[in-house]
């Protein structure tokens, strides 16, 4: 199109202004509007007339001004957040080059980047001859891990299907991510054969309960094939005890042990806190999402496997000769071992960011998040209006606002959180734990400081007091 340079200059100006608002502590995270109100500002319909470059830019401006600023300091709502300029630039390059990670000839440098990072990440967790791949999210990583586990125990199922087989059973904590329910559906074993193991008061899987469940499943004539430990649960940020779980899995016909470390895998980069992943080298696979603790833009997810050949055995198929040719560099064609065909070069943003900050830079960032969470815990303990739900194990802290009078505490905390979200000043989430509403603060943005934590809790307590009056 003519005028590309002028359009790009205006676009970069728009992006620059947006980044300034992210960096401004006093700017709002969101300007809350209902689904009914938004169309008056932004027409979601698409017609056949097309628009001018100026109209295109104005629509972008409307989109940015009405989107949640997840890069803002006080966005503590999800297990991701913050703004990192290095991978942002790499993301632009990824879209600019618009390559796909299936063959070396299409993505030569990105292929080498991915192979190097997979090798490095395997070394960090102790998979000496491991393999792996970037995937389209932690849920996808869990899915592919389950396919690998199924293929390892029953390699014929890839071709024959599960008809006539005894029930295949998989075992997860009752605090495990909901994606594992979807996995049971997608790989064909059925959600009734997803067995949830009780957790203790810290949200960690109870090992004795796991063994009892495996024994019961075997006595029924089932075929246990997968145990999933969680490293960083969604609500409490809890870490299941990997080493004793691995012993039980090994003693029961070497059941595949997968660790869902989508949230907590990055803890491996910290010498101070890597003990939370003790025994990770004994697992068969690991999900690791750098878009969480490593401040990489969504999506950046990796599946690591100990068996170098299992991804190819589980995922490769026939009739792909049009894409994968028999040439001297065929071992560099990563697409053969992927369930995806077209796959973005998500590796660029992680490679450039890791290259920029280095191992020591990332270790410092992760240590800081833990230290800030410890500070947040101290703030809660000192407050007469706040109550810890559980002792934090990583970088999430769950608590409740306790009113000064007898009232419905769950309803009050829901109202508190809703008010905070609509003001746009801070954004935190809530969940249910042990049938109680809990406010969950995720300390994930490395730009946070202790004074920011103080401000966040001041706002929470103020919102709680206002909710008390209204309730």
Residue range 430-470, pLDDT digits in tens:
999 989 999 999 999 999 999 999 999 999 999 999 999 88
In a domain, 248, yes or no: yes
3-state secondary structure of 354: helix
Phi, psi at residue 299, to the nearest 5°? -100, 145
Per-residue pLDDT averaged across 70-92, rounded?
A: 96
Q: Read off the CATH number of the domain in which 186 is found.
A: 3.40.640.10
Residue-range definition of the domain harbouring residue 160: 93-353
Q: Is the pLDDT of residue 234 over 60?
A: yes
Helical segments of 172-275, H only: 179-186, 207-219, 242-251
Per-residue pLDDT averaged across 169-189, rounded?
A: 96
DSSP of 394-413, one letter per residue?
Answer: SSEEEEEE--SSSS-HHHHH
Per-residue pLDDT averaged across 88-98, rounded?
A: 96
- Locate 179 and state its tokens: 């994606």
- Of 311, 270, 337, the closest CA to residue 125 belongs to 270
- Locate 307 and state its tokens: 């068996």
In a domain, 429, yes or no: no
pLDDT of residue 322: 65
Which stretches of 164-237 are assigned E, i.e. beta strand? 168-173, 194-197, 223-230
- Of 122, 20, 70, 118, the closest CA to residue 298 belongs to 70
Q: pLDDT-derived band of residue 302, with 50, 70 and 90 as boundaries?
A: very high
Which tens digits make up the pLDDT trace of 334-355? Answer: 888 888 889 999 999 999 999 9
pLDDT of residue 1: 46
Q: Is the pLDDT of residue 181 over 60?
A: yes
Q: Is the pLDDT of residue 365 over 70?
A: yes
Per-residue pLDDT averaged across 169-191, rounded?
A: 96
Per-residue pLDDT averaged across 425-434, rounded?
A: 94
pTM for the structure as a whole: 0.95
In a domain, 362, yes or no: no
pLDDT of residue 50: 87
- Of 83, 78, 76, 85, the closest CA to residue 425 belongs to 76
Residue that is written with structure tokens 């395997």 in the block: 122
Which tens digits make up the pLDDT trace of 37-67? Answer: 888 888 888 887 888 999 999 999 999 999 9
In a domain, 265, yes or no: yes
- Locate 81 and state its tokens: 């957040």
Mean of per-residue pLDDT scores for the chain: 93
In a domain, 33, yes or no: no
Q: Is the pLDDT of residue 306 over 70?
A: yes
Q: pLDDT-derived band of residue 320, with 50, 70 and 90 as boundaries?
A: low
The number of domains in the chain is 1
pLDDT of residue 340: 87
Which tens digits make up the pLDDT trace of 366-377? Answer: 999 999 999 999
Q: Is the pLDDT of residue 324 over 80?
A: no
How far is the C-alpha of 463 from the C-alpha of 421, rounded, in Å? 10
In a domain, 384, yes or no: no
Residues 6+ apart with CB under 8 A from 330: 324
pLDDT of residue 319: 67
Per-residue pLDDT averaged across 235-250, rounded?
A: 97
Per-residue pLDDT averaged across 379-393, rounded?
A: 96
In a domain, 25, yes or no: no
pLDDT of residue 469: 86
Residues 6+ apart with CB under 8 A from 204: 173, 175, 238, 239, 240, 241
In a domain, 47, yes or no: no
Per-residue pLDDT averaged across 146-172, rounded?
A: 89
Per-residue pLDDT averaged across 246-275, rounded?
A: 97
pLDDT higher at 330 or 408: 408
Task: Give percent of the chain with pLDDT exceeding 70.
Answer: 98
């Amino acid at each position: 199109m003519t005028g590309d340079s002028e359009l790009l200059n205006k676009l970069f100006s728009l992006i620059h202004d947006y980044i300034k608002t992210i960096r401004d502590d006093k700017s709002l995270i969101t300007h809350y509007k209902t689904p009914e109100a938004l169309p008056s500002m932004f027409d979601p319909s698409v017609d056949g007339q097309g628009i001018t470059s100026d109209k295109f830019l104005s629509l972008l401006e409307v989109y940015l001004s009405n989107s949640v600023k997840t890069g803002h300091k006080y966005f503590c709502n999800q297990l991701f957040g913050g703004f990192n300029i290095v991978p942002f630039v790499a993301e632009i390059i990824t879209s600019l080059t618009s390559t796909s990670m299936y063959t070396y000839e299409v993505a030569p440098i990105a292929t080498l980047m991915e192979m190097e990072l997979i090798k490095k990440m395997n070394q960090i967790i102790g998979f000496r001859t491991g393999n792996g791949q970037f995937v389209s999210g932690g849920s996808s990583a869990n899915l592919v891990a389950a396919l690998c586990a199924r293929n390892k125990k029953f390699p014929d199922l890839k071709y024959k299907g599960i008809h006539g087989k005894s029930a295949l059973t998989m075992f997860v904590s009752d605090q495990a991510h909901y994606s594992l329910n979807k996995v049971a559906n997608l790989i064909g074993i059925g959600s009734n054969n997803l067995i949830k193991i009780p957790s203790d008061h810290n949200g960690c899987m109870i090992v004795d309960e796991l063994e009892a469940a495996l024994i019961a499943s075997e006595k029924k004539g089932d075929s246990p094939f997968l145990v999933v430990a969680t490293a960083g649960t969604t609500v409490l940020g809890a870490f299941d005890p990997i080493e004793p779980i691995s012993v039980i899995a090994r003693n029961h016909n070497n059941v595949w042990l997968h660790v869902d470390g989508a949230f907590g895998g990055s803890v491996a980069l910290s010498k101070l806190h890597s003990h939370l992943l003790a025994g990770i080298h004994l697992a068969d696979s690991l999900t690791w999402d750098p878009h969480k603790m490593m401040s990489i833009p969504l999506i950046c997810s990796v599946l690591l496997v100990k068996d170098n050949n299992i991804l190819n055995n589980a995922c490769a198929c026939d009739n792909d000769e049009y894409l994968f040719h028999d040439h001297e560099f065929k071992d560099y064609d990563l697409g053969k071992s992927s369930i995806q065909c077209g796959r973005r070069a998500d590796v660029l943003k992680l490679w450039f960011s890791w290259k920029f900050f280095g191992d020591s830079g990332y270790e410092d960032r992760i240590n800081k998040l833990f230290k800030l969470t410890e500070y947040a815990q101290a703030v809660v303990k000192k407050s007469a209006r706040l109550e810890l739900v559980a002792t934090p194990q990583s970088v999430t802290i769950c608590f409740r606002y306790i009113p000064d009078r007898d009232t419905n505490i769950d309803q009050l905390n829901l109202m508190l959180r809703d008010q905070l979200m609509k003001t746009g000043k801070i954004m935190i989430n809530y969940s249910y734990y042990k049938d109680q509403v809990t406010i969950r603060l995720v300390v994930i943005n490395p730009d946070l400081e202790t004074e920011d934590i103080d401000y966040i809790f001041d706002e929470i307590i103020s919102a709680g007091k206002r909710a008390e009056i209204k309730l």
